[in-house]
Structure 1
């Protein structure tokens, strides 16, 4: 089986998750291509497609939504999965596809539900953000009772959950 992993990442953490999944799938014998969403190869060349996308300021990037809508028919004919990465997913009760508001909004926008879905907590890296992003995210974290110290750099990703998604995707 030929697998394509597509990534939409703003600060690089979603790409890191995609690379981890790619590495695991390759170790299990899959032929895997990893590409950014904007450089997506021809989907018809692949048997499986997994798409990972980060949340920025409360929503997925517009190109992720348009890509999924534009390619929905072809994706429905393949083994397909989608995962979302956000800081909100660090919280219990918001860390599953069913309980994560960003995921539910996204599924409504694309008017389709890929058979394999997952949600991961992201990385909070204040020193790595520009001034505007840092202040917006600090405010959101203050409201949601998250870390607000300006030197905070913490990863909320459950790497065991990432590995479990790779296995689920392999076995699909």
Structure 2
């Protein structure tokens, strides 16, 4: 049975939710997942004993988590050997603005060049606003940004922006690639 490594970091919790969703979708398609939260587990095996790998992390203030960078740098060789994907999570991924999308592409490309890994797929995934996970200043800044974009914030303080059907379609394509054995 084919095995997929899913390694991630999460700050406010949405990348955690996304990674677990991806794992369930992959397992529902008959593959086995090894899900690693890099903030909790110093995983050292890389993708050596896996048939594919997905690495997920969120952009905060224009950068990814150093734990994510360290994992990729330590395991770039094994990540290059299997079908792979990088899920870049951000609020800006929900935007239709071409300049914002281009900026996301540039942030991801620069990060991946710095860590020495070029995955087969880079997928931008919209995150969520979790008011309880942010301090006052962060919350006010992010509220101003999403309000200026016309996003309706949920009164609960949890505003979901992730496009789950789009993510599921990506997962289906990725699983087909893994099953086909193509790099």
Name 2:8's counterpart in structure 1: 7
Q: 2: distance between equivalents of 1:57 and 1:141?
A: 15
Alignment of 1:15-164 (within 5 A): 15-38=16-39, 39=41, 40=43, 42-43=45-46, 44-92=48-96, 93=98, 100-138=105-143, 140-141=145-146, 145=149, 151=155, 152-164=157-169
Report the number of matched residues: 171
Q: How far 1:126 sits from its partner (Å)?
A: 2.3
Q: Give unpaired runs (5+ residues) of structure 1.
A: none
- 1:112 CA displacement: 3.2
Q: 1:23 to 1:97 in 2, by over 3 A?
A: farther
Query: Whole-Å Cα distance in 2 between the matches of residues 149 and 23 of structure 1?
Result: 27
In structure 2, the CA distance between the partners of 1:105 and 1:138, relative to structure 1 (3 Å rule), is farther
What RMSD in Å do the two structures reach over aligned CA positions?
Answer: 2.7
Distance 1:138 1:105, change over 3 A: farther
TM-score, structure 2 as length reference:
0.80
Contact 2:7 2:56 in 1 (8 A): yes
Q: 1:98 to 1:57 in 2, by over 3 A?
A: closer
Structure 1 residues 97-134: Cα deviation after superposition (integer angstroms, max 9, x where no partner): 89633323322322432002100111012244222432
Q: Distance in 2 between matches of 1:129 and 1:45?
A: 37
CA 55–124 in structure 1, closer or farther in 2 if over 3 Å, else same? same
Greater shift after overlay, 132-141 or 50-59? 132-141
8 A contact 1:89–1:96 mirrored in 2 = yes
CA–CA distance in structure 2, aligned partners of residues 33 and 137 of structure 1:
33
Counterpart contact for 1:98–1:104, Cα < 8 Å: no
Unaligned runs of 5+ in 2: 178-183
Deviations along 1:42-83, whole A, 9 cap, x unmatched? 222212111110112221111212221221111111221111
